[in-house]
Amino acid sequence: MKRTTIVDVGRHAGVSTKTVSRVFNDEPHVSDAVKQRVRAAASALNYHPNVFAQSLVRRRSHLIGLVYEKPSASYVVELQEGVLERLEGEGYRLIVIPVQSVQQNAADIVGLLRAAALDGVVLAPPASDHLMILAQLDAAGIRYARIAPTRQLELGSSTLLDDVAGARAVAAHLLALGHRDIGIIKGDPDHAATDARLIGYGEAFRDAGCTMRLDRIETGLFTFDGGHAAGRRLLGGMDRPTAILVQNDEMAVGVMLAARELGLSLPDDLSIAGFDDAEVSRIAWPRLTTVRQPVFEMAVAATDMLIADLEGRASQRQTHHTNMLQVRDSTAALPRPTAPGDPSA
C-alpha cells in the first residue's frame, strides 16, 4: 500500500501542506476549526506524523530517558509504568536505558544519553546519587529528575524517601517480637540505600537497648543468588540467628530458599523480613513481611517535575514520599523458652 503523506492529509482536509505541518508542529495562528479538520483527516487516512521530522523542526526530540541499574523485575516494571503513566498524552516517548553497573560505566552513561538526543532523563538509584553523572548532565544541558537521592539534593528535581525510617520500622518490628539474635543481609555497597537501611537497623537496635552484631552481617548485592548464598552462610552452622533483616525482597526470597534447604520452618524456626514490597514478596510462601516503597508514585512525580522543567513551567523541586511497613506471614514472635516440668512444653 502507498504510504499516506502530509500532502494526502492536506488534500483531504482542503488545506495546504504548510497548514498541516503547522498543526502537527503545534505552531500558532491556526484556528481550532482548521486543527480539528486536519486531525480528522489524519485519523481518516491513518496518518501519523514523522516524529524525527518534527524533532528537526522543533529542535527537540521529545524523548525521555529512564536510567536504572539491574533491579528486580518488579522494581523496573513499576519504574517504567510510573514514567509511562505521566507521559500519557504528553507527546513524549520513553527510552529505557538499563545499566549493568552505574559505578563501572558512569563515564559512558552521559555520552550514551547525548547520542540518543534525549530532551531529559529520569535517574533511578544509584545513578540518581552519582555526582559525576549529574555534573556531566549539567554540562551537556540535559535536564534530569532524580528518584530517591541522598546527597546534594539541590541538584535537579528529586523525589525523596526516608530509607532510614523504613529500615528502623522493620527492625523495630522484629525486636518487638522478642528477637535479639538477628542477622542482616546488606545490598550493593555502591547503593546509598544500603548504608541508609543499615543506619535505620542500628537506630532500632539502639532504641531497644540491643547490640547489632557485626559478625551477623552479610552482603547479598540485592540479587536472589546473593541472598541465597548469604542465607546459607548465616544459617549453615549450629549458632544461627532467630531472625534475618534483608535489604530487599529479591534477596529475602533467596534466604527463604536457603532456610528450607537446611530444613528450617518459616516462621517457626526463623523470621525473615525484606524491603521494597516487590511482587515476589506477595507471592512467596509464607508471604513476606517487608517495607513498601512507593516506586510507581515516585516515578510519576519525577517525570512530572521533568516535564515541567522541559516546558518552562513552575513546579516544586522536591516531593516527599513515605515507606510503609507491611506485616505478613514470614515473621512471628520468638517462642518462649519452656522450663522443665512446664505443662505447655
What single-letter amino acid sits at 84?
L
Collapsed DSSP state (helix, strand, coil) of residue 122? strand
* Residue owning grid cell 515516585: 298
Query: With 90 as the cut, is the pLDDT of residue 220 above it?
Result: yes
**What's the average model confidence in pLDDT over 262-274?**
97
Contact between 317 and 158 (Cβ < 8 Å): yes
Pairing of strands 318-321, 157-161: parallel
Domains and CATH numbers, the chain: 63-162+295-323 (3.40.50.2300), 163-292 (3.40.50.2300)
Kindly state the percentage of the chain with pLDDT values over 90.
68
pLDDT tens digit string along 198-213? 999 999 999 999 999 9
Contact between 126 and 102 (Cβ < 8 Å): yes
- The Cα–Cα gap between 293 and 321 comes to 9
DSSP-derived secondary structure for 260-298: HHTT--TTTT-EEE-SB--HHHHHSSSPPBEEE--HHHH
pLDDT tens digit string along 223-248? 999 999 999 999 999 999 999 999 99
C-alpha distance from residue 137 to each of 70, 121, 132 (Å): 21, 9, 9
pTM, two decimal places: 0.79
Q: Based on the number of CB atoms within 10 Å of its own CB, is 121 exposed (0-12), middle (13-18) or buried (19 or more)?
A: buried
* Residue owning grid cell 549458632: 239
What single-letter amino acid sits at 48?
H
pLDDT of residue 89: 82
- The model's confidence at residue 138, banded by pLDDT at 50, 70 and 90, is very high
pLDDT of residue 242: 97
- The Cα–Cα gap between 259 and 271 comes to 10
Q: Based on the number of CB atoms within 10 Å of its own CB, is 164 exposed (0-12), middle (13-18) or buried (19 or more)?
A: buried
pLDDT of residue 345: 43
